[in-house]
Amino acid sequence: MTSLERLGLAALHRLDPETAHGLSIRALRAGLVPVPGPVTSPRLRTSLAGLDLPNPVGLAAGYDKNAEAVAPLSRAGFGFIEVGAATPRPQPGNPRPRLFRLTADRAAINRFGFNNQGMVAIAARLATRPRGTVPAGLNLGANKDSTDRAADFATVLAHCGPHVDFATVNVSSPNTEKLRDLQGPQALAALLSGVMAARDRLPRPIPVFLKIAPDLSPEDLAALAQVALASGVAGIIATNTTLSRDGLTSPDRDQTGGLSGAPLFARSTQVLARLSQLTEGRLPLIGVGGISSAEDAYAKIRAGASAVQFYTAMVYQGLSLATEIARGLDALLARDGFASVAQAVGTDRDRWL
């Protein structure tokens, strides 16, 4: 992290978290944040469900909700980025305050509730994004007051799909009431059937990923894995935020919402490893939850992930963390004699089971 970035983060931390979040997006759009371009090497280049990634380090959904800063984020060192979540109609989300820094825990709690400008506005921005070496995807959501939430996911994909490289079905946010009920086997199978039908009608079929919660029981996780394998999805993203509050010390630890950041690392990595075992390598996995260093990213890969994503750690370590993690991961792969990311996937999985 440069001195300038350190000063910028210090200034943002003097503001309430949601205001700071919005200002960081505006700064990116205005070109006020240095972006080094994609980081890559022969070791880092990764194939993920047919996507060619310069490196396996991605930006998780939730930061650029409305696809306002796709161009600069594509040059920030990430190997792929995910924007959204997008819903069919615009919605304001839950009342503020709804984002809380847990500085002592290197974590955050949010209860945004899929606040976004809606698929029409988001698709318009995605349609004009520069196409380059860094794939951009969209997280699909459902309106809170929808009478058919399962259909909402297919609706957003049909509208926005022509303008993205991949899409993610997000049934794992804890901030829309009863949304996680869609992770049940029957409901999930029906939802994914509709989404995949919409995907097949796109001018250019794209990979669709499924994002799951870290709070599933072993039995529910096994059932979900079987549904995913049968559905035709391209992979699973493990995991979204957690409702657990174990071990937290920050003053806002009891706020309602989903917890992200460092305390989620072990839980999400255990789910990832278990999914790797359940799917037996038949689906690529993307590891998310608590990554704040190259060592964390490497641990996710060795637990079974073909690629990783992070977001919350940028609150504390800045946007340059993407470059730092990618370069550090390259060095770790070289140290251990791996010629590619694929060679390292799952090599330490049993540690987490």
Residue 178's pLDDT is: 75
The pLDDT tens digits of the residues spanning 205-239 come to 999 999 999 999 999 999 999 999 999 999 999 99
> Rounded to the nearest 10 degrees, what angle do helices 17-29 and 3-12 cross at?
140
Q: Measure the CA–CA gap between 161 and 216, rounded to whole angstroms.
A: 29
DSSP summary character for residue 249: -
Regions of the chain where pLDDT drops below 50? none
Locate the domains of the chain by residue range.
36-352
Residue 4's pLDDT is: 86
Residue 180's pLDDT is: 79
Which residue reads 């909402």 in tokens?
Answer: 152
Residue 115's pLDDT is: 98
Residue 5's pLDDT is: 92
Q: Measure the CA–CA gap between 285 and 50, rounded to whole angstroms.
A: 13
Q: Measure the CA–CA gap between 233 and 284, rounded to whole angstroms.
A: 10
What would the two tokens of residue 347 be? 């090599």
Query: What's the one-letter identity of residue 35?
Result: V
Residues known to be catalytic: 173
In degrees, rounded to 5, the angle at the alpha carbon of residue 202 between the alpha carbons of residues 66 and 285 is 65
The pLDDT tens digits of the residues spanning 67-105 come to 999 999 999 999 999 999 999 999 999 999 999 999 999
In CATH, the number for domain 36-352 is: 3.20.20.70
Does the CA dihedral 210-349-107-219 come out positive or negative? Answer: positive
Residue 2's pLDDT is: 86
> Rounded to the nearest 10 degrees, what angle do helices 265-279 and 218-231 cross at?
50
In degrees, rounded to 5, the angle at the alpha carbon of residue 180 between the alpha carbons of residues 175 and 182 is 135
Residue 125's pLDDT is: 98
